[in-house]
Amino acid sequence: MVIKGQNRLSDGHPIIEILGRGDFLSLDARKRFRLPEELSDALRRAYGQAAPHSDLPPDAVNRLPFYFAPGTGKRIFLYPAPNIALATSQFEAPPAGMAPALVRKARDYFYGLLRFAEADRQNRLQLPEPLCRHAAIGDDVDRVCLVCRGAWFVISKVSTEDELMAEREAAFEQCVDELLDAVKPASPGEEEGQPT
């Protein structure tokens, strides 16, 4: 796992970039999960690097502040606090051609479910109830999948993640020969067997 804090938004604020992480985490009766120790330690270091250049209060590094937000595919996105501008900026300046009324409704839904949270002393975070409904995480769900997406985490039910992995595996199998095979067919005009 690599966590770094050097990338910046267009306004100069740092982005905490999270690479190479995937965990299945247990939920307790209050819908809390514990961040793995290696992850929480790395996040604290990344927050510390970003703190001098961010709007966060200095003691936020120890509390590990996050934003829970509704995500795609009935999932929850978990943004390290400095990274939330990556999501909010898209609603403030949507792509050209999107219907303004549709964007307003989507923005209202997003901000209505957006929740700020800080990890407790045991590095636990509680899933907000409105976002549990968004992600269909009911009382029968006792584990979630936490996967990094570069600058935020994706939280989903394990069954949802299993379904997505099966779809991704099928797509991988369909195109892996074209993407990863080191031996490429000769381009037009090259003779078969000649080095390129």
Query: Domain containing 65 — which CATH number?
Result: 3.40.1550.20
Chain centroid to CA 75: 10
Q: What percent of the chain has pLDDT over 70?
A: 81
54 near 14, Cβ under 8 Å? yes
Question: Is there a domain that residue 188 lies in?
Answer: no
pLDDT of residue 132 exceeding 80, the answer is yes
Question: Is there a domain that residue 170 lies in?
Answer: yes
Question: Is there a domain that residue 74 lies in?
Answer: yes
Burial 128-156 (b: 16+ CB within 10 A, else e): beebbebbebeeebeebbbbbeebbbbbb
Question: What's the pLDDT band for 14 if we cut at 50, 70, 90?
Answer: confident
Question: Is there a domain that residue 42 lies in?
Answer: yes
Domain that holds residue 87: 2-180
Question: Is there a domain that residue 34 lies in?
Answer: yes
Show the 3-state SS of 154-180.
EEEEHHHHHHHHHHHHHHHHHHHHHHH
Residue 4 is given by DSSP the state E
pLDDT of residue 125 exceeding 60, the answer is yes
Averaged pLDDT score across all residues of the chain: 83
Whole-angstrom distance, CA of residue 196 vs CA of residue 181: 16
Question: What's the first-to-final CA gap in the chain, in angstroms?
Answer: 37
Question: Is there a domain that residue 196 lies in?
Answer: no
Q: What is the pLDDT of residues 25-83, one digit of tens each?
A: 999 999 999 999 999 988 988 887 776 666 777 676 678 999 999 999 889 999 999 89
Lowest mean pLDDT among 128-132, 168-172, 185-189: 185-189
Question: Is there a domain that residue 86 lies in?
Answer: yes
Give 120's Cβ-side CA count (13 Å radius): 8
Q: Could you give the angle at which helices 85-92 and 100-113 cross, rounded to 10 degrees?
A: 150
Residue 150: name the closest of 27, 52, 18 by CA. Answer: 18
Residue 108 is which amino acid?
D
Phi and psi, residue 132, nearest 5°:
-60, -40
Give 143's Cβ-side CA count (13 Å radius): 9
167 near 40, Cβ under 8 Å? no
Residue 92 is predicted with a pLDDT of: 84
Question: Is there a domain that residue 185 lies in?
Answer: no
Q: How many structural domains comprise the chain?
A: 1
Name every residue whose Cβ is closer than 8 Å to that of residue 19 and which is 6 or more positions away in sequence.
Answer: 1, 2, 3, 148, 150
